[in-house]
Amino acid sequence: MGKGLDARFSPIEERILDMIALEASNKEIALTLNYSQRNIEYHISKMMKRHNVQTRVGLVVKAYSFKLKEDSRRKVM
């Protein structure tokens, strides 16, 4: 995912999304980022509600679509 998803995701959310894209479980994400599993679940739930998606896969797809739009805007400039 990387930096700057047009302020749609915080830095921690971007890190979580990167790990979801790598098929990491909530427990694996929590251990890697040194957060509680409940905290990771909260972040994922919050992102899913905010972006109106029903699944983790939908969330990653939405994030990548934002990134693609951002990248295409940069090329025009």
Cα atoms in the 13 Å half-sphere on the side-chain side of 63: 26
Is 16 a member of any domain? yes
Residue whose tokens read 């909260």: 42
Q: What is the pLDDT of residue 1?
A: 44
Q: What is the pLDDT of residue 28?
A: 98
Q: What is the pLDDT of residue 8?
A: 79
Is 63 a member of any domain? yes
CATH of residue 23: 1.10.10.10
Domain residue limits at 49: 11-76
Q: What is the pLDDT of residue 40?
A: 98
Confirm if 32 and 24 have CB atoms less than 8 A apart. Answer: yes
Distance CA(64)–CA(21), nearest Å, equals 10
AA letter at 15: R
Q: How many folded domains does the chain comprise?
A: 1
Confirm if 18 and 28 have CB atoms less than 8 A apart. Answer: no
Q: What is the pLDDT of residue 2?
A: 44
Distance CA(34)–CA(52), nearest Å, equals 27
Is 5 a member of any domain? no
One pLDDT digit (tens) per residue for the chain, 77 residues: 444 444 578 999 999 999 999 999 999 999 999 999 999 999 999 999 999 999 999 999 998 888 766 665 666 55
Is 6 a member of any domain? no
